[in-house]
Structure 1
Amino acid sequence: MDTSTLLSQLQTQVQALQGTVSTEFLTLEDAALHFKPHATGWSILECLEHLNRYSRFYLPYLEKAVAAAPALSEPQPVRYSWLGRKSLDLVNPGNVKKHKTLQHMNPRHSTLSPEVLPEFLQHQEKLLYLLTAAAKADLNQKTIPVEFFRLLKLRTGEAFAFVVLHQQRHVRQAQRALAQVPVGLVA
């Protein structure tokens, strides 16, 4: 796949995530947003706060990478490293295997407000801006540190794909939580 195709697909996916959060979660009452489907499950707010924490980490690195990337005159094939393929497989929404999250990225037991939702949407706007700005950038440079071990680096294109797939995974988790909210809590 070439860079323009990847970026276009990711933009479409981010816009779909924005639509889902805006239409399904933004108008919910506090009780529905905080509802946990089971003792170890995350609420809608926890799912989105988890994504906000990842966005706070990855978006500044993506911004620096795009700004510093050499300009390309035409789209190039996107290459994936072993680490990139493994990372993408790990967060792929189709991968139903549960994974432990890092403690500082785990929103469980956090005091969260509905402000988590507009913050998530702001991160999506920033991500869309960066995907557009990356149109002429070399996405095959290893520039983005991996959150859990910063000496490892993802290629810029891999990191964009990782962020979007990870968001899709947890927005779907939030949708599953919403489906289990008792009828009386949903307005």
Structure 2
Amino acid sequence: MTHAMSPVQLILPKRFADPRGWFMEVYSEPKFRERGIDCDFVQDNHSLSIPAFTLRGLHFQTPPHAQDKLVRCVRGRIFDVAVDVRRDSPTFGKWVGAELSAENGHQLFVPVGFAHGFLTLEPDCEVTYKVSALYAPECDGGIRWDSAGVDWPLPAGAEPILSDKDAQLPSLSDFSALFPYNGRPLGPLA
């Protein structure tokens, strides 16, 4: 593996298949460090979204409990997004997204300084993700789903299903960036 330039990375684990099914390695600390992903994961989270077009996000945790995330979909399909919210970043407010599914096995690494969210593309989606800091409610934050120009794959005229909390998040334009820029601008997903 080579060091990726973009801080947000699409990870494509290799599957080893035979007539019984398949096996894949979803996380290997040495292999991730080779990619420039140098964090210690301390908590795993698992969510179920029952209706299609449920949108969760766009979330982050602020310092001193900011989180790196490694996200994968273990049932169904989602459109997973990261938005740059780092102060002084030349790509502030830009986003990248990818379809993650149980079928494709892809994962998205979302580092500190990026708001994260996903839209379910079918019913009964389960998402798991590792985080590098424990949940700290006093550092919980986010921006409104429709304030960063994300091209969510919603059917024409449809609105996503949101939690009350997510519906009340501030817009990106009202957000005061608390995350420093580390010199790595957001780039396209490989």
Please report the TM-score for the alignment, with normalisation by the length of structure 2: 0.24
TM-score normalized with structure 1 length: 0.24
Q: Which has the higher contact order (CA 8 A, sep 6+)?
A: 1
Q: Which has the larger radius of gyration?
A: 1
Q: Would you tell me which structure has more strand in proportion to its own residues?
A: 2
Structure holding more helix per residue: 1
